Amino acid sequence: MAGIRWIDTDLVFASEIGTPLDGANVRRAFRRIAAAAGLPAEVWTPREQRHSFVLLLSDDGVPIEQISRLVGHNGTSVTELVYRKQIRPVLDDGATAMDRIFPAAGT
């Protein structure tokens, strides 16, 4: 569609004329898509989508090593510290440990 304006940079994801994508353009396009879907564009950002992706995979039990590879991290430390915000497993593990330490009376 760009015709003679197209610049072949051999990119998988490119601008409408083939040039590298700029972060601001990606966010602007994402806001348009979110708004068209009826989502609050100020809340549903590409960054939030990435965090949600990691959270959903983590909550489903996908190993952190696999999640790290999927989001392009070299190791698991960034994935663990920045993206993986899961409180439920921590609470569950803590409650299970407390049940072992202080078993219910009569059991």
**The pLDDT of residue 90:** 60
What is the pTM (predicted TM-score) of this model?
0.58
Q: Do 89 and 55 form a contact (C-beta atoms < 8 A)?
A: no
69 pLDDT higher than 90: yes
pLDDT value at position 36?
A: 93
Percentage above 70 pLDDT, the chain: 89
- Label residues 28-49 b or e (16+ Cβ within 10 Å = b): eebbeebeeeeeebeebeeeee
Give the pLDDT confidence score for residue 1 in this predicted structure: 82
How far is residue 74's CA from residue 65's CA, in Å, rounded to a whole number?
9
Q: Is the per-residue pLDDT at 94 higher than 80?
A: no
Domain boundaries of the chain, sorted by first residue? 1-42, 45-107
Average the pLDDT over 43-48 and give the result. Answer: 84
Contacts of 102 (CB under 8 A, 6+ apart): none
